[in-house]
Amino acid sequence: MLDIKFLRENPEVVKENIKNKFQERKLPLVDEVIELDKENRAIKQEVEALRADRNKISKQIGAMMAQGKKEEAEELKKQVTANADKVEELSQKEKAVEEKMKEIMMVIPNIIDPSVPIGKDDSENVELERFGDPVVPDFEIPYHAEIMESFDGLDLDSARKVAGNGFYYLMGDIARLHSAVISYARDFMIERGFTYCVPPFMIRSNVVTGVMSFDEMDAMMYKIEGEDLYLIGTSEHSMIGKFIGTTTKEEDLPKTLTSYSPCFRKEKGAHGIEERGVYRIHQFEKQEMIVVCEPEESKDWYEKLWKNTVDLFRSMDIPVRTLECCSGDLADLKVKSVDVEAWSPRQKKYFEVGSCSNLGDAQARRLGIRVKGKDGKYFAHTLNNTVVAPPRMLIAFLENNLQADGSVRIPEVLRPYMGGKEKIEK
């Protein structure tokens, strides 16, 4: 959510940003907010004038009572009562105007970083850098679900009977590999100085609207019927929510946390062969990282965060690349975002396995996350990034470590989490 003062003073900048995000339908909202802001400030001025007048009259009443002029004092008391009624009426109007302003401001997108490429959708995202050499072996690589099933490690049919499409059972060594990756990612981030956390897996609506846009909320979140609770789509939601309504001293920043959680997503519109198996599903587990920091440090943290993911995947011998998200592919709260994509030898292309985002002060402004400095209080900046999200990550792992005999090589860093195994065999 933008600062109303910024919008008031820079309406054309806000409109240009909306155009760059190809959301022209939102352009009229800027003028609507400006008019509401004018109305709101006029109401405040009138209320202040009425209160000042009431204080003045109250003093006059006291003087008249002291002089024995009770009738004149009673007439002035009627004015005070009328004044108070008017203040109450205006206060209710002020509240309604401010709620309407907030409702609209929640829809106007955050100002994107100048470095973000302008484009309509993810087809116009820009490749930044590749890490590791992508290899296509001289033997055929089956679809990931077939690889898992060859080890009796995946049961989609039973899951479909129990929960429907988009769910799965992982079994045996594949399930163990899944847990090994999560445990390794946890320790990897702890070694990099992050504090490990297991957060709540449900959050209230005020946290949901504080951490994400309404479009994201509709496409992702599952609502708990009859309660003000939602299942989290990523632990970032809980982790940022942890700081709601807090003020942190500058010297106590940054806050760097890494968290484990299951994640639940509607995944509206999922279709096609790559949506089968465990690529796009309603339930998965993830290791996440978040940072709450001072504004001038968020750009540096952004670079550090996505590099953590690249380093993790490279430690498991998986080639990856980074992809800069264009303006039209950025969610409304994001200032800048980069996707990390892993190499798929079967598809002979990269696919998304993680996303790193700098949200500026958008989430902090919505949730009241402030920093106390020597010159006063201000809003913090928040960032988040995927460490690893199996089972999608398992697709890249299995394809890149599959051997010609059908076994799967276990990289050295994962072997302590797999009981010392060097490979998974049928």
C-beta of residue 78 within 8 angstroms of C-beta of residue 132: no
pLDDT of residue 62: 74
Residues 251, 370 share a domain: yes
State the Cα–Cα distance between residues 256 and 300, nearest whole angstrom. 13
Q: What residues does 34 pair with on adjacent strands? A: none
52, 75, 105 - which closes a domain: 105
- Residue 113 falls within a domain, yes or no? no
Tens-binned pLDDT, residue by residue, of the chain (426 aa): 899 999 999 999 999 999 999 999 999 999 999 999 999 999 999 988 888 877 777 777 777 777 777 777 777 778 778 878 888 899 999 999 999 999 999 999 999 999 999 999 999 999 999 999 999 999 999 999 999 999 999 999 999 999 998 999 999 999 999 999 999 999 999 999 999 999 999 999 999 999 998 778 888 899 999 999 999 999 999 999 999 999 999 999 999 999 999 999 997 655 444 457 898 899 999 999 999 999 999 999 999 999 999 999 999 999 999 999 999 999 999 999 999 999 999 999 999 999 999 999 999 999 999 999 999 999 999 999 999 999 889 999 999 999 999 999 999 999 999 999 999 998
User: pTM of the entire structure?
Assistant: 0.90
* CB contact burial 203-233 (16+ within 10 A = b; e otherwise): beeebbebbbbeeebeebbbeeeeeebbbbb
Sign of CA dihedral 135, 289, 198, 205: negative
**Backbone phi, psi, residue 359, to 5°:** -105, 10
pLDDT of residue 141: 96
pLDDT of residue 391: 86
pLDDT of residue 75: 76
For residue 375, give its domain range.
Answer: 122-424
In angstroms, what is the C-alpha Rg of the chain?
A: 28
pLDDT of residue 78: 80
- Residue 321 falls within a domain, yes or no? yes
Tokens (6 digits) for 380 = 């913090």
Residues 371, 335 share a domain: yes
Could you report the per-residue pLDDT of 318-340, keeping only the tens digit for each? 999 999 999 999 999 999 999 99
State the Cα–Cα distance between residues 210 and 323, nearest whole angstrom. 26
- Residue 117 falls within a domain, yes or no? no
Q: Spell out the residues 6+ positions from residue 89 whose beta carbon is closer than 8 angstroms to its own.
A: none
Residues 405, 295 share a domain: yes
Q: Which helix (H) or strand (E) holds 94?
A: helix 70-105
C-beta of residue 333 within 8 angstroms of C-beta of residue 236: no
Residues 243, 387 share a domain: yes
Three-state DSSP at 166 gives coil
State the Cα–Cα distance between residues 87 and 293, nearest whole angstrom. 41
Residues 393, 360 share a domain: yes
Residues 249, 209 share a domain: yes
**Backbone phi, psi, residue 220, to 5°:** -115, -50
Q: What residues does 336 pair with on adjacent strands? A: 358
Three-state DSSP at 202 gives strand
pLDDT of residue 269: 55
Residues 231, 179 share a domain: yes
Please give the tally of structural domains in the chain. 2
